[in-house]
Amino acid sequence: MIEVKNITKIYQSASVETIALKDVSFSIQEGEFVAIIGPSGSGKSTLMHILGCLDTPTNGQYFLEGKDVSKLSEAELADIRKNKIGFVFQSFNLLRRTTVFRNIVLPLVYANVPKNKRAEIAKRCLLAAGLTEKHFSHLSNQLSGGEMQRVAIARALVNDPLIILADEPTGNLDSKTGDIILETFRDLNKQGKTIILITHEKYIAEKAKRVICIKDGEIVEDVFNHSSSKEVKKIKE
């Protein structure tokens, strides 16, 4: 589904040149659950922006479903974000004085989904994210942090995206609630969704089936977790 070939990203500021990514290459198959982990300044956020079509590489190619999206126009990238990628952010980004149900219906309005289908889709996505119908009429600012993140996950599902891209989705949650959210991602992955999770926490990354470690803009390790063994591909010491 995803193939990244020799991606480099360089930021220019006056006379200062910052290399955020250096010749990064990897692929992700449909249905994988991948965590990308690295410390602050490692390049993981830059990589997330490229994978999410929020930014483009300076050099290299990014293929999504066999199409090179690294050279597309802003309008074309916006279409991909709208139709193929569901985003989940650390800060939830919900409309706070709007009901849970309305938060999920609004993206469907903007996507021109027929009115008679919106309620059905919204309900299905909220239930898939682990919310019960008693939450649907609550205002989002009446919810706990874990419940708000579940609403954010439901919102990411409404357009049936190819990929769910989660940026530090447990960062504003306590560890117990974070574990519940991670289990929600695991359940969605079991249903066939491709999950890419960005984190700096090792214990969170280990919940994924595969962990890509990035440091100083380079991939240093690619780890496949199996039920009884662990396959480690050492990229760089």
Q: Look at residue 227 in the predicted model and tell me its pLDDT.
A: 47
Mean pLDDT across the chain, nearest whole number? 90
Q: What domains are there in the chain, each with its CATH number?
A: 28-42+80-234 (3.40.50.300)
Confidence of residue 90 (pLDDT cuts 50, 70, 90): confident
Q: Look at residue 229 in the predicted model and tell me its pLDDT.
A: 43
Number of H helices, E strands in the chain: 7, 11
Looking at residues 8-12, what average pLDDT do you find? 93
**What confidence tens digit (pLDDT) does each residue in 129-152 have?**
999 999 999 998 899 999 999 999
Looking at residues 218-228, what average pLDDT do you find? 80
Looking at residues 32-45, what average pLDDT do you find? 94
Contact call for residues 184 and 129 (beta carbons, < 8 A): yes
Confidence of residue 100 (pLDDT cuts 50, 70, 90): very high
Contact call for residues 221 and 232 (beta carbons, < 8 A): yes
